[in-house]
Amino acid sequence: MKDFKCNKDDFYHRSNSDYIPENEADDLIYLSEEYNDEIGFFELESVIDAYKSVLAKCATLAKIFHNMQMQAKGISKGNDKLSKDVTSSKKKRKRLEKRVKNLENELSILRKENDKSVLEHKNLVKDTTIIKDTNHLNLLN
């Protein structure tokens, strides 16, 4: 490959043509067409296009990966919160179960006391009935 610098004055002098490029890009295209075998501009252009395509795909994949990472972080935070909620719910459940046991014990005690009171009441009713009967008998005598 020939080593040269693209100097407009030198380029026009070497090209020996009447072509005057409008800008440096046209200048390079003209130069590359003239020296296509030496610098392979068109091959280079297709390689550059391929690299651009690959870079665009990589950028898309990077965005997708980033979104997946953010979703994973969100899921992780959600799982942590759910885990805390479950732990908290388990603790609340244990406390409530304990409270229910205590209330059941209290209810059992109250039932026993009620049964005693009912029995005492029955006994009192019997005693009262006996006393009434005795008083009635005494009055009759």
pLDDT digits (tens, 9 = 90+) for 104-124: 999 999 999 999 988 888 888
In which band, very low, low, confident or very high, does the pLDDT at 20 lie, cut at 50, 70 and 90?
low
Average pLDDT, the chain: 75
**Nearest residue to 36 via CA among 68, 2, 78, 83:** 2
Helices assigned H by DSSP within 2-40: 8-15, 24-34, 36-39
For residue 80, what pLDDT is reported?
Answer: 85
Place of tokens 């805390």: 84
pLDDT at 112: 92
Element (H, E) at 2: none
Give residue-wise pLDDT tens across range 31-76: 555 555 455 555 667 778 888 888 889 889 999 999 998 888 888 8
